[in-house]
Structure 1
Amino acid sequence: MKEYEKRGINVWGLTVQNEPMATQTWESCIYTAQEEGEFLKSNLGPTLWKNGFKDKKVMIWDHNRDLIYQRATTTLSDPETSKYASGIGYHWYETWNNKTPLFDNLEETQRAFPDKFLAFTEGCKEQFDLSKIYDVKLGELYGRNMLNDFNKGTALWTDWNVLLDETGGPNHVGNFCFAPIIANTKTGEIHYTYEYYYIGHVSRFIKPNAVRIGSSSNRVALTATTFMNQNGQLVTVIMNDSDNDIDTNLWIEGMAAKLKAPAHSIQTVIL
């Protein structure tokens, strides 16, 4: 981190270990919840503080939503470990074992540890296919996860790869994936996928330090989240992932505005 900062790259946070329960074809390291906590308490945390990095945000877990509550309640049960942890990181790959993302686990974890922020630290769509980079389902995958994650208490959300090449790489073990931006190194073309624009509806309009405001939807096909920016703006992001246009109303304190949510769309309303 010292070398990064010498070169003008500020490191605000780090995780203890990427996916500590996964044995992968790429670099891996297994930690039990107890081992992760012991390493943070006895090694990583004291070393960071001793070297002037007490302000860096350390996140535990950094794996999937399925076991986030169990891991957090075990690792953070020791106050001497907990004092070094600012947040709890997670990924979205529990759908490999569960057809449905386990968003409710985030809410339970946030309720148990209100002093720790939840951070989505990695997600991507695997099995890259250049012919499918303009599939709207890629954007909807991101929209569905972002909006539900925020509604369950997540404070920050980051993709795995911002930009990849025409193969979905480079990757040293052949794990080729989709990304918001695809650069064709053979033709010089730059492709902005639906992932890019769906992320943009959040990152462009919901500003740092915004506060989430309670909101709900009365249609299964409509997913929405609302934030208040520091300047008082109310920002509502609405996604319709169905095949049908939907006429709806945006209600706030007894007042309503008519909206149309086109099929397979995302939109942002600013008040």
Structure 2
Amino acid sequence: MFSKKFSIFIIGLYYIPQLIPSRKVSNTNGHDCVAKDFGQDSTVCVCNASYCDTIPLIEKLNSSMYVKITTNKDGLRFHKEIGIVEVIENKASYSDIVINVNASVEYQAIHGYGGAFTDATGINLASLDGKVAEQIMKSYFGIEGIGFSLCRVPIAATDFSTRPYTYLENEDPELTSFSLQEEDYQYKIPYILQALNLTNNNLKLISSPWIAPLWMKTIASYAGSGTIKEEYHPTATWAKYLLKFLEEYEKQGIDYWGITTGNEPSLALYPDAIQSTPTVAWTSADMQKFIKDHLGPTIENSSYSTINLIALDDQRGYLPDLNEILNDSAVNNYIDGIGIHWYQDWYESANLLDEVHNRYPNKFLLGTEACSGSTVIDLIFNTRVLLGSWQRAEDQAKDIIEDMNHWVTGWISWNMVLNTDGGPSYTSNFVDAHIIANITANEFYKQPAFYTHGHFSKLVPPNSKRIQMILQANNNESDVVSTAFKKPDGGIVITVLNSSDKTLDINIIDEDLRIIETVTPNSLSTILYWKD
């Protein structure tokens, strides 16, 4: 899809896990975390059939009080403390961090936060005892979980399947033999339906294609640089294939809020000999034509005309290429949003997000995929899964905050559940996840990133709006980032990431109200209050 040269990015540290006995970390909410140290810089929380930590809803407080929720490197997980809001006249402050809040200035509305229903997620859930799998589902979607509200579903196989498969293996341009596969019926549909039930159907779903039938592609490989054959363009065969997926899932009681134009077409920039992830390649010009002549009209003229069509679904660095796609008014009218992945955010400026928003203010920006453990260093040193890594949790929290501060409306992690190897993956593309299942022990581990993600998915519900927040760091405290939201019920949410190894004083000022607090070293803190 893109003319830009690809680059291989390297981030990571070499860790040697050591198993250390478990301990119980006390907090003030729900069931406590049973912590276990695997020799990383923090700990995991262990769950099994009979016990799992929980996170109750935060009840609305009167305007004289606030609540601070803390997750940190030292082992606190959603630790709750209640404080008193001050009424002030003199706004002078000598705190390390001053945050001035103006809730009357609103920015983007939030669509939600969540993860992906991959085959690997379903396979690991099905490999555990039913009660253990239920604990995982409740942890993500239950009322005492972290409140996932926006999830992604692959169309057929990904690299996190046990085999490459499509819904139409034999050449059939009329799609008469289109058929969902056993992976859909065993590993996706049952868990999606369970999540819908746990959320009272308050779960938005986005579908994304990775893989196309070989008979449709210009090369006989699921991966590599192949695209859709020209002969299938006049009949819009690929677009109708994607529509057929929506139809078949609707028959199973599952509707989709969005569909993307295709996962990471930039993968086709890698040499075919080394690229193993299934993909369909597109140049920007071809993608423009595909949306204009095939995908857009096919969806528009179907019963799914209100579904959100999401372009890009790739790295932030490719956002400039959207100009070539969206400069056609017909294409622009078909596209509702723009999906971005996080894997190159460490060197691609967030200003690109501002530029896209300013150019296309009626298109929402959405983080559609993120995970840790995918770098070359992780491959070399086998650090795809790091049980208890705070650094990975902190990296993801920082990325979410940065995205939110630059017009992004939600953030979806990759696999929700992986095994201790970081799979299964038929391409051996093992990575990390928020929950790691130990199938042999019939238990699972909630990574620190599970909780830092939860600070957004649970505490910033859909239809919240980002609000103006100005952070002033005194004494050269540069390791703090923050963002702020107004919830639908009027609650003000201030999220503060302290990446330093020091306890810092913070002073939140909102008109004539002041909250004086501290944030612990290497922590993510959320302060929540209501003004009426």
Q: TM-score range by the shorter chain?
A: over 0.9
Give the gaps of 5 or more residues in structure 2. 1-245, 269-274
Q: What TM-score do the two structures reach when normalised by structure 2?
A: 0.49
Within 5 Å, which residues of 2 pair with 1:80-91? 80-91=330-341
SS at match of 1:209: coil
Partners of 1:187 and 1:143 in 2: how far apart?
Answer: 30
Partners of 1:73 and 1:129 in 2: how far apart?
Answer: 38
Contact 1:92–1:101 under 8 Å retained in 2: no
SS at match of 2:265: coil
Aligned Cα RMSD in Å?
1.5
Partners of 2:386 and 2:503 in 1: how far apart?
Answer: 24
Contact 1:130–1:166 under 8 Å retained in 2: no
RCO comparison, higher one (Cα < 8 Å, 6+): 2
Within 5 Å, which residues of 2 pair with 1:1-271? 1-23=246-268, 24-68=275-319, 70-95=320-345, 99-125=346-372, 126=374, 127=378, 129=383, 132-219=386-473, 220-271=478-529
Partners of 2:417 and 2:407 in 1: how far apart?
Answer: 27
Partners of 1:259 and 1:33 in 2: how far apart?
Answer: 49
SS at match of 1:216: strand
Shift of residue 39, structure 1, vs aligned partner: 0.4
Deviations 1:10-46 (A, max 9, x none): 2111110111222231112221222111101111111
Deviations 1:192-235 (A, max 9, x none): 00110011000101111111101132232111111111111111
Partners of 2:386 and 2:502 in 1: how far apart?
Answer: 22
Contact 1:21–1:32 under 8 Å retained in 2: no
Partners of 2:385 and 2:279 in 1: how far apart?
Answer: 31
Partners of 1:156 and 1:36 in 2: how far apart?
Answer: 24
Partners of 2:385 and 2:294 in 1: how far apart?
Answer: 47
Partners of 1:185 and 1:162 in 2: how far apart?
Answer: 15
Deviations 1:37-58 (A, max 9, x none): 1101111111112221111111
Partners of 2:468 and 2:287 in 1: how far apart?
Answer: 34
Report runs of 4+ in structure 1 exceeding 6 Å deviation.
none
Instruction: Indicate the larger mover: 214-223 or 72-81.
Output: 214-223
Deviations 1:69-128 (A, max 9, x none): x12222111111111110011111225xxx534211111111111100001111111236
The letter for the 2-side match of 1:50 is N
Partners of 1:258 and 1:33 in 2: how far apart?
Answer: 51
Partners of 1:238 and 1:208 in 2: how far apart?
Answer: 20
Deviations 1:146-186 (A, max 9, x none): 01100100012101111111110111101111101111111
The letter for the 1-side match of 2:370 is G
SS at match of 2:289: helix
Partners of 2:365 and 2:432 in 1: how far apart?
Answer: 24
Distance 1:101 1:195, change over 3 A: farther
Compare CA radii of gyration and give the structure with the larger one. Answer: 2
